[in-house]
Amino acid sequence: MEPHLSLKNFLLCTFSLSLSALSFAANADPGSITIPRTVPYVEGAANDAIRAECRFPIELPEMIAEEAKDRGLNVQLTDANIDTAVGRVLSIRTEYVYAQGGGAYTGKKTARIRGELRENGQIIGDFLMERATSRGAGMFDYSACGSLNRISDALGKDVAKWLVRPAMGTRQGIR
């Protein structure tokens, strides 16, 4: 009978731990979202100069986190593989960037991003967003990177606003 009691104790212990884990997951902060610290470019999305010189892949997630905080959300930036993260996870990538220095004299600068929000592996929302500007970052900054800084600020606000009420198939600024 001793082995039977051991198995019974094991099953009770396992059941209790499972209930505790479910309770913890149910009480997790629903506003906590993990995003990559650096947003990758898809192949062909940006030229070599933009990839080497501009901080767009770093500034975008920082702006998302900052703007989300203003909306009561807790966004965690991570260097870890986003595909293995649990809870609410925003996978995001840059699909297209065009920027040439010279401010308004060289035409508009554009960036397009795609994101997918998952909660414990289930997709709960996705978006495709684009922003453009013909201005630089400031009065005397007409650089391509300066324009992309302005665009990352705008896209960061857009994504943070979307995170408050994520939806499937969101398209913003797409012609």
Closest CA to 116 of 27, 32, 34: 34
C-beta separation of 137 from 150 below 8 A: yes
| pLDDT recorded at residue 85 | 87
C-beta separation of 77 from 60 below 8 A: no
Predicted confidence band of residue 146 (pLDDT cuts 50, 70, 90): confident
Over residues 42-69, the mean pLDDT reads 95
Give dist(CA 101, CA 22) in Å, integer: 53
Every domain of the chain and the residues it spans: 1-27, 31-172
Closest CA to 159 of 148, 170, 174, 147: 170
Give dist(CA 47, CA 163) in Å, integer: 29
Give dist(CA 91, CA 118) in Å, integer: 8
CATH 3.30.160.180 fits 31-172, yes or no: yes
| pLDDT recorded at residue 22 | 37
Number of neighbouring beta carbons within 10 Å of residue 151: 27
**Span 6-29, pLDDT tens digits:** 555 544 444 443 433 333 333 335
Within 8 A by CB and 6+ apart from 162, the residues are 125, 127, 129, 170, 172
Report the predicted TM-score, pTM, of the whole model to 2 decimal places: 0.77
